[in-house]
Structure 1
Amino acid sequence: MQTRSAERLSPGAREDDQRDYWFDLGQAHTAAELCRAWLPILCSMLAQTRAGLLLLRDSDGSYVPVAVWPLDLEPSYLGDVAGEALGKRQGAVHRAADGRVQFAYPLLAAEQMHGAVVIDLDARDDATLTQAMRLTHWGAGWLVDLFGRALLREQELRLANAAFVLDLSLSALGEADFAKAALAVANRLAQRLACIQVQVGVEKGKTVRVAAVSHAAWFDERSTRVNLAALAMDEAFDQRTRVVWPEPPSGALLITAAHRRYAEECGSRTLCSVPLEAGGRVVAIWLLERDEAFTAEELDLLDTLALALGPVLGLKLTADESLLAHARRSGRRLLQRCTDTSRPGLKLLVLLLTLAMAILALYRTDYRIAAQAVVEGAVQRVVAAPFDSYIREASVRAGDVVRRDQPLARLDDKDLELERVRWEAELEVALRREREAMAGADRVALRLAAAQAGQARAQLDLVLAKLERVQIRAPFDGVVMRGDLSQELGAPVEQGKVLFEIAPLDAWRVILKADERDIASLRGGQSGELILTSLTGKRFAFQVKTVTPVSVAEEGRNYFRVEADLSDSAPELRPGMEGVAKVYVGKASLLWIWTHRFTDWLHLAWWKWTP
């Protein structure tokens, strides 16, 4: 050891070591790297240094060596002086008979003990010791400043976390219902913790269903990802504790099968499920997904948020509970109050409600079935191209009202005019040959010339007929439903191609989309009234003509097409107008009208679940 100390104390070696360690000190990214570079620099600056040791406080409260000098040093012999300095929270000096001195300098920051610097050196006089202690005091400022900044960062982190908890709680309280509050919380959590996705689940029966997904206004509850997320949150719900996957090495033994399956199916690297409790019950579960592992500080923040937001989301969930659940809970409380001698006003209210229900059950009125309706033309006429040609003019487009024989479009007639001139010339030649054959009494030539004249006359009549149909005209008064040739001028059209679709203005029909729950009450011949969205001040009477026995699925429900004829026409009507139609189907009590769909659902549910 003496040889090694002498080598380190040589000027050339010391300068090389200082240069290397100073570089390491400047490039240090962590506290451990900084300490491992700082101690050799300090020891190289102290005269007659034999060894150095740096102790720092661990997370469990013990002090562990983080840096030694030289690297092969066995630091146990410096434990006495280090223990004295740490115990008394002040510097300690131990002198030996051979002139060796061991002294320990405590590292205090903000009244907290963070560790100690222990130096073993040959100090034959007090001046050497004093100089070494002074240099150690000055050099320890690096570490004290490091600890001070760490404490400041910790305090700033606590303040930031407290502000985030308060802000998130206020955001949840400010939302109108549980769904919006859960979505707002999920979005803020995903942004704060850099999560790929945050899902919020609530209890539904004995399972968990996903109620909100971060950055998603809508999601498919039947998707595989959502179902796997519900199963993963189910594990946290059943165990009533936070579940992290992959499990931390020192974590408690928890069931994580569903989390592992979700990660394998969805390609997730890290998952964390956190249950939120309020009033002794789990009101919601968070499932956080991201690429990096969650740190201990982030997990503590999640636990704090769960404690703060559990009651808030519990209130939102209670406010949004179903009518049946709310009525059941309120009914039990109401029944308890009604059976005692208190609250006479409440008993009077119950009596009035019962009387109102009896009146509604006995009073009968018209029962009408409402359905979405659209106006269509009773007849739609197709205007097609009479022959192959090109579009020359286009006078109308879809939505225009036209009159009978009004020009709609015009086809190009240049080729037809040339063909007309050709066949007129052919006819004139054939007639001249016919006259010459007649003058020469040549019957064969006469018959051949007559046949050629007939062929030319027929072709000329065909060309003249086409020229008469060059101008496309409206077949009757109506409105153009389809057709806009203004963007196709000069384009070729084939014979038979549909150019326009026209519906008359004096013949209309109404198409109703009747819900399958009401289709059993609709019959042909029933009357009703229609109010259009654009003509809310006028009612149109109609009569049901046909109930089509074919359903169409729209927006998750089945609708049947019902055709009806309008009794009266109006110049304001146009094809495609939409509104609401009501069909009169008979008389029924107000109570049945308002509740029959719910009772029908109960009957169906009872039939479904009873054996």
Structure 2
Amino acid sequence: MLTQTSPPPAAADAWQALARATTGDQLAQAWLGVLCHALLHARAGLVLMAQPDGAYAPVAAEPPAQELAHLADIATEALRQRTGVLRRDEAGDALLAYPLTPADSLCGAVVLDLGPADTAATERARQLTHWGAGWLLDLMRQVDQARVHAGARQARVLLDIVLAVQNEPGQREAALALVHAVGRELGCHQVQLAMAEGSTLRRQAVSHAAVSDDRSQQALLALQAMHEAFDQRRHLLWPEPPAPEGATGMTITAGHARYAHEVGAKALCSLPLEAAHETVGVLLLERDRPFAADEIELLDALAPAVGPLLVLQRDASQGAAARLRRTLRRGVRLATDSAHPALKLGVGAAALLLLLLAIVPVPYHVTAPAVVEGARQRAAVAPFEGFVREAPARAGDAVKTGQLLARLEDKDLLLEKTRWESELEVALRKEREAMAHGNRVDQRLAAAQANQARAQLDLASSKLERVAITAPFDGIVVKGDLSQQLGSPVEQGKVLFEVAPLNAWRVILKVDERDIGLVRPGAAGALVLASLPGQRWPFTVRKLTPVSVPEDGRNQFRVEAEIGGAAPTLSPNMEGVGKVDAGSAPLLWAWTHPLLDWLRLTWWKVLP
């Protein structure tokens, strides 16, 4: 009569662990325990599985805490040859390695330390390992399929809930759709949703309830429970599951306990909803059985998916004032939290600098192009029509008073002078003869002819005195060059030269019409020339010309200023930049007022 013996307690535990395994690692560890207990002479075992990076790492060891480095060589040989390897070490102990090759692909290996086993024991170990390897691969395939099916179901549920929320037209409808969909998919007898308003929560929807009284004791306790998840920013379960080994940190669920005692709930879960890295609401789920791990995983995936949808629905249903208040609160919260301290310090420093630029006054100057001119300029003109005989001076020459600038041809004038001298002598002789004969008519006629000849002679003498064109004072020739026009005719009154003094200057500023209102007679300023950028000459505004002149596409006013003191290094027509004192103003206004003025003018132009 055969008697049935029960497996030892350790083997029974291994079989129970194999039945309860839900992941590949748990399955490998339980399967290895069953195999090692079936091989009573096996001292140690190891299961290696392929990793995403292509390497092979141990996923199960028996005993778990034992050092198994001596199995590395035979494991490497079995993986390289893709066939079972059996050999003995120096001490005579048997080592067995068997590759896991589903569908001709290498996914891992099983390695056993059989100790001092005989030939029959090693053959039995090889057969059991061969049979068990196929069993292990099939169990892992089933676990993978179950995980894929669970993921597909989770994705379907998540999509259904998101679509249910997204298809609603308003915030309240979306909130009701969310609580009803979550309650239906997870088998909850009640689901509550509270949305964040600043640092507090306000209930928005309750499933399976026609009327919700937010002032009731149950509602207040529910808000307290949801506040615990809101403040801790993590999902909370009640009753609390046992903490994993080695886990640190503590969760607060006192509010959940009070609410569960009040309503008689057996299991609670509070889920904070996230959007843009902040908590925007909390879901409170109630049901009669505890929440499983896959359900918690589904809820954790749901939180960031529906949070932004609820925010969009809320924003769409609120007015502009409410959105502005919410934006300001978010800005204040971002500015006062502890995130990004360096960035906030930089922004604060920039804001302080901008405030100082906007309120601290500094001297303000009107800048304009400037040209140097002589304080007075004298023109040397042609005294009569003639021809240029010589012209030793040209523009840029420094001249003294009376220095020759040019000389006109005087041959015709000398001949004319001689002619009129002869005419005068003849007329005088006729006048004397008529006086001697007592002929008063001829005497008067001759006297008139003499007077005419005398006037013409004086005119010719005067012209001869002016054939030399000289400098009226010490200065510099600023205009005129006749050195290439010797012998050419000139007309009477033509300007041949312009002479300016060397010790008296004035500055002509071309002030833009936008700034002319800031310039006043008597205002001080300073001039810097392009040819002498290292020197500065002070000046005083004397006169504003009330007529604008278009230049370079803009209207400019001519402003005359006087340079104080002697400036012997200056020359006429030197150009530079002048700055006129215009009081004081904030530096920010000085930089931006042209743009602001343009905007004001444009706005006035487009107004009806």
Q: Where on the TM-score scale, by shorter chain, does this alignment land: which range?
A: 0.3 to 0.5
Q: Pick the structure with greater CA Rg.
A: 2
Q: What TM-score results when the alignment is normalised by the length of structure 2?
A: 0.43
Q: What TM-score results when the alignment is normalised by the length of structure 1?
A: 0.43
